[in-house]
Structure 1
Amino acid sequence: MGTSDQPASAATATRRGYDSALRRSHAEQTRAQILDAATRLFSERGWAVGMREIAAEADVSFETVYAKFGSKTKLFLTAFDVAVVGDDQPVALARRPEFAALSAGDRHERAAAAAALATDIYGRTSGLHRALREGASFDPDLASRLVEARRRQRSDVRAAGEAVAGRRLDGDEAEGLWAVISTEVYDLLVHDAGWTHARYREWLADATLRLLGPD
């Protein structure tokens, strides 16, 4: 009798595994929909966007958004972190292949790679940076994240500059590069002056080379 029960038990276990995988897949898809919607709306409208608007944009219930993220601040910070690196994997930018590419080729190629990386990141995050600056005036968690985002960007820019230069940067070089490779300058040139991404990318590569000086 135990032998006859085995096929049924195996089928039940397989079915449970399938159902569990299906639920995980659905949960991940829902989470991704909410993050996509939040990223779009925060980028377009700033911190004032409400959770109900995000739920409607994601085509999910208001309760689902809260169940997944707990608060507007947590949702925003998750969307911000995902946008910086381009995915939901817990791998810092400085440890990613696109950052390692800054050390490959000659100095012009490395500067071009750095400019391309910055352009891609700001294309995803410039609107979120504006929302973060707005929200930091009202929310202490966002104020702390703004300080941390600037600290991290400062560190990443120095590391990128040293990879491009192939040497250590002095204080003025690192700080100057940090100022040039900033979301504020990107906004001025792309959003206010109307530059294309291609024009900004080429300008940034040239500006980086000028700041770092000759080989």
Structure 2
Amino acid sequence: MGSSDQPASAATATRRSYDSTLRRSQAEQTRAQILEAATRLFAERGWSVGVREIAAEAGVSFETVYAKFGSKTRLFLTAFDVAVVGDDRPVALAQRPEFAALSAGDRRERAAAGAALAADIYARTAGLYRALREGASFDPELASRLVEAYRRQRSDVRAAGEAVAGRTLATDEAEGLWAVISTEVYDLLVNNAGWSHTRYRNWIADATVRLLGPD
């Protein structure tokens, strides 16, 4: 009798494993839908967008959003972090292949790679930075994250500039480059002056070469 029970037990275990895998997949899909909706609405409407609006956009309940993220602030910060690097993997920007490309080729090629990276990041995050600055006026956690976001951005731009230049940058060079390659400048040129993504990217590449000098 014991041996005849084994196939049924194995089938039950397989079914449980399948059900568990399916639930995880569905949970990940729901989380991704919420983040996509939150990213789009925060970028378009700013910090004032409500969780109920995000839930409706994602096609889930209000309670599901809170169950997944705990609060509007945590939802926003998760969306912001994902938008900066482009995915949900816990890998810092400076450790990604796109960053490694800044050390390949001559200075113009490296500057072009840096400009492409910056343009892609700001295309995803410019609206979220506006929402973060707005929310920082009301929420201490967002205010703290804004300071941290600028600190990290400043550090990343310096590291990128040094990879492009192939040398250590002076403080004025690094901070001047950070000022030029900033979210606010992207917002002014692309979202206000109407520049195309390509025009902005080419301008940043030229500006980087001018600031850092030729090879």
Identity of aligned residues (%): 86
Tell me which amino acid in the other structure corresponds to 2:211.
Answer: L
Distance 1:69 1:175 in 2: 35
* Mapped partners of 2:106, 2:8: distance in 1: 64
1:8 corresponds to: 8
Matches within 5 A, 1:69-88: 69-88=69-88
Using the TM superposition, give the Cα deviation of residue 214 of structure 1 relative to its aligned residue in structure 2, in angstroms: 2.3
- Cα distance in 1, alignment partners of residues 92 and 140 from structure 2: 24
In the TM superposition, 1:6-45 aligns within 5 A as: 6-45=6-45
- Matched residue, 2:111: 111
List gaps (5 residues or longer) in structure 2: none
Deviation at 1:59, TM superposition (A): 0.4
Alpha-carbon deviation of 1:102? 0.4
Q: Distance in 1 between matches of 2:3 and 2:104?
A: 62
Residues 192-212 of structure 1 deviation map (CA, whole Å, 9 limit, x = unaligned):
110000000000000000000
1:192 matched residue in structure 2: 192
Aligned to 1:91, the other structure's residue is in SS state coil
**Helix, strand or coil: the match of 1:87?**
coil
SS at match of 2:137: coil
How does 1:168-179 map onto structure 2 within 5 Å?
168-179=168-179
In the TM superposition, what are the counterparts of 1:41-190 in structure 2 within 5 Å?
41-190=41-190
| TM-score with structure 1 setting the length | 0.99
Alpha-carbon RMSD: 0.4
Aligned equivalents of 1:25, 1:64: Cα separation in 2:
16
Q: Partners of 2:52 and 2:188 in 1: how far apart?
A: 31
Residue 30 of structure 1 aligns with an amino acid whose one-letter code is T
Aligned residue identity for 1:31:
R
Whether the 8 Å contact between 2:107 and 2:214 is mirrored in structure 1 is: no
Task: Write out per-residue CA displacement over residues 179-201 of structure 1, whole angstroms, 9 at most, x where no aligned residue.
Answer: 00000000110011100000000
Whole-Å separation in 1 of the counterparts to 2:54 and 2:127: 16
Q: Give, as a single letter, the amino acid of the residue that structure 1 aligns with 2:86.
A: G
Q: For the residues of structure 2 that align with 1:207 and 1:193, how far apart are their CA atoms?
A: 18
- 2:195 is paired with a residue whose SS is coil
Distance 1:90 1:144 in 2: 21
**Residue by residue, what CA displacement relative to the aligned partner does 1:63-112 show, whole Å, maximum 9, x if unpaired?**
00000000000000000000000000000000000000100111111000
Q: CA deviation at 1:213?
A: 1.2
Give the Cα–Cα distance (whole angstroms) in 2 for the partners of residues 204 and 96 of structure 1: 21
CA distance in 1, matches of 2:191, 2:16: 51
Moved over 2 A (4+): none
CA separation in 2, counterparts of 1:74 and 1:23? 23
Give me the TM-score of the superposition, normalised by structure 2. 0.99
